[in-house]
Amino acid sequence: NKKAVFLECLVSEWSITEQCERDGAIQPTIVEDYSKAIIKRTHEEYCHTGISQTESKIKPFYTAPHLSENIKKICKNCEICIKNKSRLNRKYGLMSQLGPANRPFQIMSLDTIGGFGCQQSTCPGLIKLIEKIPKEETIEIILSDQYPAFHSTEFKNYLETRNIQLILTAVDAPFSNGINERLNQTIVNKIICKMNESKGKINWSKIAEECRNKYKETNHFLLNTCYPGSLQICYQNN
């Protein structure tokens, strides 16, 4: 192999600059440009090996200026290797916007909150949706996460008979339904505080109803001095 490297250098009219002694063996030192050509050919002939494998095929036989650095650059910048690795990348979908709604209750957001099972109640969780909807208003679109119950045939048939469209958020992407998730955090914190205050003597479902009513009476940060309940009262009066 060493003779082949020497002959290849001579045939191609590449000069051997010097000889160096490493680990008791004499290794030829060739110019950097020719070293890059050998690295590229070795990388391709051995089915696009990685950095370590390419080094093991070259370093025992010769050395060159910036040899390790050039091996890393050539392997990382190989067009074939980049295309081969890029096939495993995630495919991102197009961004879309839901709404805005043209009237109240046209688009509703549905979600579940679990983990409230206890001795005083057999209910393991609650389903959160607007409680009272005027009879003259109908829901057209429901946005929900990938909860198994929302995939059930019974639920889909129920929506189909009422001409309601179901839109599911992306998997493992709670931020796509951010308003609901933020409300969940607020309601859950209030329920837990009330449960700790009562020391588990009151059914959590009653506490949830109380927290909902108190939430409607609490000033909302984005609404300044208004609270959610006042908007609902104004709508019902109109």
pLDDT score of 168 more than 90 = no
Assess if residue 92 is contained within a domain: no
Task: Give the number of domains in the chain.
Answer: 2
DSSP-based three-state secondary structure for 217: coil
User: 50 or 222: whose pLDDT is higher?
Assistant: 50
How many whole angstroms separate alpha carbon 44 and alpha carbon 75?
10
Domain extent for 192: 107-237
The mean of the pLDDT values for the chain is 72
Residues 114 and 219 in one domain: yes
Residues 125 and 27 in one domain: no
Assess if residue 96 is contained within a domain: no
The dihedrals phi and psi of 135, each to the nearest 5 degrees, come to -65, -30
Among 10-24, 51-65, 169-183, the minimum mean pLDDT is found in 10-24
Sequential DSSP letters for 166-202? EEEPPTT-GGGGHHHHHHHHHHHHHHHHHHHHHTT-S
- The CATH number of residue 60's host domain is 1.10.340.70
3-state helix, strand, coil in the chain (%, to 5): 45, 15, 40
How many whole angstroms separate alpha carbon 177 and alpha carbon 171?
11
Q: What percent of the chain has pLDDT over 70?
A: 61
Residue with tokens 């909807």: 133
∠ at Cα 194 (189, 197), nearest 5°?
Answer: 125
User: 162 or 178: whose pLDDT is higher?
Assistant: 162
Tokens of 43: 């990388």
Assess if residue 101 is contained within a domain: no
Nearest to 114 by CA among 173, 225, 191: 191
What tens digit of pLDDT does each residue of 142-160 get?
888 887 878 888 888 988 8
Residues 167 and 233 in one domain: yes
**pTM, 2 dp:** 0.42
